[in-house]
Chains A and B, each alone.
Chain A
Amino acid sequence: DTGVSQDPRHKITKRGQNVTFRCDPISEHNRLYWYRQTLGQGPEFLTYFQNEAQLEKSRLLSDRFSAERPKGSFSTLEIQRTEQGDSAMYLCASSKGGMNTEAFFGQGTRLTVV
């Protein structure tokens, strides 16, 4: 499978716990994105990496959220001290460089905070 893969697919956690999600992009893609999607809404941009550099973070990304892409390959998204409002689908996507290329999405990690 050469698509974007995300792990885990589902995560249930208690409020206050930390969680970490992993994303493996398409191998030749140097751009990687994290989005969040809640029920009935379109995906909302969270952050963007070009290779290992994190170039933009949305205001949606509070201090409890951190993302890394240490070697310009896979990426992790960590949420510390989870809150019920963090419950959502977290989507990872990747694309080639350039102005006009579409993003390819993984199946997402569904987070439920209880």
Chain B
Amino acid sequence: AQSVAQPEDQVNVAEGNPLTVKCTYSVSGNPYLFWYVQYPNRGLQFLLKYITGDNLVKGSYGFEAEFNKSQTSFHLKKPSALVSDSALYFCAVLGTGGFKTIFGAGTRLFVKA
């Protein structure tokens, strides 16, 4: 069965520093991977996805993610964090059958000014 794991409940980073939010996956076949962000009192917003091609995927708000097949990882990164990036981040994978999205438990990102 397809699944993702987010090993960190919380990540703290200072504004201006680079940030990484970790995700590992377990899939049968080729993975279709996603990152979503959830701000307080707002719905989940799509950030980026990996389907095939370049291992470095660029997305919204300056975020990018690196797909690593050998390590089965899909870490979210940003070169310079903003206080406004503070939110709940979810890694996700497309489930068997190709329609439902399976989410990790989420990682809360705190960016301190």
Interface residues of A (CB under 8 A from B): 4, 31, 33, 40-45, 48, 50, 55-56, 91, 93, 99-100, 102-108
Contacts and interface: CB of A to CB of B under 8 A. Distances in A.
| 7 interchain residue pairs of minimum CB distance | A42-B103, A105-B44, A99-B98, A107-B43, A105-B43, A102-B46, A100-B51
Contacts of B42: 107
Interface of B: 32, 34, 36, 41-46, 49, 51, 90, 92, 94-95, 97-106
Given A99-B32, A100-B51, A102-B34, A42 B105 contact: yes
Contacts of A99: 32, 94, 98
A100 B101 contact: no
Contacts of A48: 99-100
A45 B101 contact: yes
Nearest to A100: B51
A109 B40 CA distance: 14
Given A100-B32, A105-B45, A42 B104 contact: yes
B94 A43 contact: no
A55 B46 CA distance: 24
A29 B39 CA distance: 24
A102 B103 contact: no
24 contacts: A31-B99, A41-B105, A41-B106, A42-B90, A42-B103, A43-B44, A43-B101, A48-B99, A48-B100, A93-B101, A99-B94, A100-B32, A100-B49, A100-B51, A100-B94, A103-B46, A103-B101, A105-B43, A105-B45, A106-B43, A107-B41, A107-B42, A107-B43, A108-B43
